[in-house]
Each structure stands twice: as C-alpha cells, then as structure tokens.
Structure 1
Amino acid sequence: MAGAVFAHEVRRRDRSDPRLWYLVAGALVGGLLGSRLAGWARDLRPAPHASLAEQWLHGGRSVLSGLAGAYLGVLVAKRLCGYRRRSGDLFAPAVAAGLAVGRIGCLCTERPGTPTGTSWGVTLTAADAARFPGTPGGVPLHPSYAYEIVFHLLALTSLIALRERISRPDALFTGFLAAYAAFRFAVEFVRGNEIAVAGLTRPQLFLLGCLPLLGWRLRALATTGENAWAR
C-alpha cells in the first residue's frame, strides 16, 4: 500500500527522477534495521534456548524506531546518490497509508489494550487472554490499534487535502510526524504496554527523547523566511 501511494505521488507531482527509488530502498532498509534493533535491544539477555540471532529474526519490532530508521535511511540514500531535493511530500501520504494497513495485523494478533468501560471495548476469552501475560479475560479492553488505524486514515485524508496548500515538502512530513508523536504518546496510556520509568512506557520515553529534534524542526519551519504552511 505504501509503495503504491508513493508511486502515485511521484506521478502526480511529475517527479520522474529515478534516484527517488534509491530513497525508497534506503527507507525500507533503515526501517527494517531500526524496528529490529529496538526489539532486540529491549532485552539484551537471551531467553532460554534463544540465540541473539533468533531474537533478531523472531523477536519484537517497534514502529517508532522503524520510522526513525527509515528517516535516517532516506538521508543516507540521498547522500549516496546525490539527490538534493526535499521528498517529505512524497513520503508523508505513503507512510500514513502503510501504517494504517500495517496496524490491521497488530489489531488481529496483539493485546488490544487496557480495560475500558466503553461499549466498543474488545472482550477476550480466557484462552485468548492467556496469550498476553497480565491481560484479563472476559473484560472489555480498549481497541488501541483500531484507534491508531483511524488516526492514520484521518491523517492520510488530511495530507491529501493539504498537499496543494503546503508550500514546503518537508513541512508536510514534519507536521505528520508531530501529530503522530502526540497521538502515540497519548494512546500508550490505554495500550497496556509494560511501564518502564515514572509511569511511562518505553515508546513514550522514546518519544520524549525525540522531542528536542522534533521541536527544532517545527521551530525551523515556523521561523523560515517563507510561509512553510500555506501558499
């Protein structure tokens, strides 16, 4: 899905430079390495009868570190192939579409979230709940991954609506990252991930660590000489 959206944006914007596909390759490689490294580093002590290689191949993955890895992968690819033009306008809708589709798998296979009193909660049987340590059975749980799917679909709709009004390509992608960071920090409170420090999960700590960089990017856009947000 992400690749199809990216290709559509390339055609729509008449950006025919073949080096763009080196950027896609850099994003894919960087995203894979970033997501796997985070899952592997989460527990440096190998589980019984599981080697580090097995943990790398079959262990957990992180969407947030995958995004960071993909971003760095694009920067490296640009340096290697000599592409100097900004490309955030091409990647932003593709990333939103890809995450929306990817989270469907998480919705079907991962722990839904924390207990909720809402009518749309997901109730697991005792057998299903046993697959996720600490998850209660027979109790409505927040469908946190469904929340994220809705967010990304709304983000994709907004990006499509705004893409002709945003004058700087990097502003479109930075705005998406800022919105997703805020949403992800908030939804972590109902996701049910393990608390790491001070009542916060590891993804929330990761986001706090990225906050200075994201703040710098937003400030750079806000203080640029041209109007970055609208034509």
Structure 2
Amino acid sequence: MTPVVWHTVFEVLAYSAGFQTYLWQRRRGVDGSVHDRDLMAVVAVGAIVGAALGAKMSYWLDDPLTAFAHFPDWRHLLEGKSIIGALLGGLLGVEVVKRFWGVRQSTGDNFVLPLTVGMCIGRIGCFLGGLGDHTYGIATTLPWGVDFGDGIARHPTQLYEIVFLLAQYAWIRARWHRFTLPGDRFRAFMIGYLAFRLLVEFIKPVFYIWPLGLTGLQWLCVAGLLYYARAVPRIVQTMVMGRKATWARR
C-alpha cells in the first residue's frame, strides 16, 4: 500500500479504537464515566464539532503560506489538520455546549484512555505516511534516525509521541485514585501533552515563524498551558510528588 493509504487506514482505526475504548469504559463503569445518554450526546456533539474546526484552523495557523496559497480555492484549505488544534477545539466545543445546556458535571476524565489509544494508533499512520504527512523531525545523526524517503535520517517524532503517550497514561493510571477533583486526570493528560508538543516542535521542520521564533502550533500549546495554569501546581503535586493535592479548586 502507498503511504497515503497506510495513513488513511490507521486514521480510521484510530477513530474506531478510540470510540470503542470509550464505550468499553462506560460498560465497565470506570471512574468518571458518563452514564447519562443525553449528557453523553451533548458532550459528543461539542467535542466532534470543536475538534473538526480546531484541527483545520490550527493548520492554517501553523502553515498559512501553504494553506492560503490558492485562496479562495476552499478545497486547498481543507487539506491539513493538527491534533493540537483538535484537542483544544474539542475542549472549547465541550465547554461551550456544557455552558449552554447548564451542565456542571466534569466529563474530561472519560477521554484520557480513548485519546491515548486513538492518538497512538494515528501516529503509526503518520509514521508510515512518510514525507507527505509532515510530522517527521529534522535531520539527526542519532542511530535511530529514520529515512522517510529523501535520503536524510530524521528524528522519528511520531514514535517519540507514541512512547510519551503510553508512558504518560501509565503514570496517570498509577496515580488514578490520587486525583481528588473530577477532570484532573484529563487536565494532567492535556498539560503533559501540550508541554511535550511545545518542546518536540523544536526538532521538527518549521513552515512559518510567528513572534518569539515559535511556530503556530507552539503558540497553541502555550495558549493551552495558560488555560490550565491554575491547575498546574495541583497536577504536579499529584503526578510528581505522588500525593493528593490539599488545596481546593479555584
């Protein structure tokens, strides 16, 4: 199969596996699972719409010269996407819908394992997608550098991300019952992933530079980390120090 086909196959598998993992959690009554069908539907709609819009808009921000090269040809604007934008867009979509419907229950913890599973599978597709996927790293002399087809050994950043996601989930799972506030497991997932992507983007090709020498995706990571800034000390205490946070949520 061609790299494009491989990428498509694993992208479909990622969505399917993530959704099935979500349903599996509900059947087993995992802590934090949403059991109200109406609430689940509302959350799902907000997440899907927000993620779809965020994924596309983050591509426009990260590589505007390519995205708008043939403007106003709208088809060209739909070509790229980013998981960072999807995560932040999905988060925004859920929060907007919950506020509109008056939902106070935290729902984020439901998505930690499904997102981990789906993103790991999706990154396998990105790795097999080669140069056309634009998720590879810059050139490296390290022994595990990978030639994606241009004769240059590059950082396999897709594999770095898989290793990070699996390690992060194992760390969160080991401290699962130490999280005292609903939603803190998801906050830990997001804070960890955004920090990882902020750093790993420094060893990936740059398509467009924004202020302070950061890429569009890095600025999105910064925005996401600022959104969670108040929760960071509490999450760090739980994750790193291995004990329950003692202060109330603000």
* TM bucket, shorter chain: 0.7 to 0.9
Work out whether 1:153 is the aligned partner of 2:166: yes
Q: Is the 8 A contact 1:35 1:62 kept in 2?
A: yes
* Aligned mates of 2:236, 2:199 — CA distance in 1: 24
Q: Counterparts in 2 of 1:1-231, with a 5 A limit?
A: 1-11=17-27, 12-13=29-30, 15-18=34-37, 19-41=39-61, 42-43=63-64, 46-48=68-70, 51-58=72-79, 60-109=80-129, 110-111=133-134, 112-124=136-148, 128-129=149-150, 138-194=151-207, 196-197=209-210, 198-219=212-233, 227-228=244-245
Residue aligned with 1:178, SS = helix
> 1 CA distance for matches of 2:191 and 2:95?
19
Point out where structure 2 has 5 or more consecutive residues left out of the alignment: 1-16, 238-243
Q: 2:202 and 2:94 mapped to 1: Cα distance?
A: 31
- The alignment partner of 2:126 has SS state of helix
Given that 1:93 and 1:159 are in contact with CA atoms closer than 8 Å, whether structure 2 keeps it comes out as: no
8 Å CA contact retained: 1:89, 1:163: no
**How big is the shift at 1:219?**
4.8
Change (3 A) 1:202 1:37: closer
Residue type of the alignment partner of 2:21:
V
Q: Deviations over 1:27-73 (max 9, x none)?
A: 1111001111222354277424x644212332x11211111110011
Q: CA separation of 1:211/1:164 partners in 2, compared to 1, >3 Å: closer, same or farther?
A: closer
Residue 134 of structure 1 corresponds to none
**TM-score, length basis structure 2:** 0.74
Say whether the 8 Å CA contact 2:188–2:235 is kept in structure 1: no
- TM-score w.r.t. structure 1 length? 0.80
**C-alpha contact 2:58 2:85 (8 A) present in aligned 1:** yes
Change (3 A) 1:21 1:159: farther
In structure 1, C-alpha distance between the alignment counterparts of 2:195 and 2:214, rounded to whole Å: 14
Assess if the C-alpha contact under 8 Å between 1:122 and 1:141 holds in 2: yes
Q: Higher relative contact order by CA 8 Å / sep ≥ 6: 1 or 2? A: 2
> In the TM superposition, what is the alpha-carbon distance from 1:201 to its structure 2 partner?
2.2
- Output the amino acid matched with 1:181: L
What is the CA RMSD across the aligned residues, in angstroms?
Answer: 2.6
1:119 is displaced (CA, Å) by 1.1
Classify 1:83/1:176 alpha carbon distance in 2 versus 1 (closer, same or farther; 3 Å).
same
Which one has a larger percent helix, Structure 1 or Structure 2?
2
Give the unaligned 5+ runs of structure 1.
Answer: 130-137
How many angstroms does 1:202 deviate by?
2.0
Letter in 1 for 2:69: A
Per-residue CA deviations over 1:134-166 (Å, capped at 9, x if unaligned) read xxxx23111011101111122232333332332
Offset of 1:228 from its aligned partner? 4.4
CA contact (8 A) 1:222 1:228 kept: no
Q: Which amino acid aligns with 1:16?
A: H
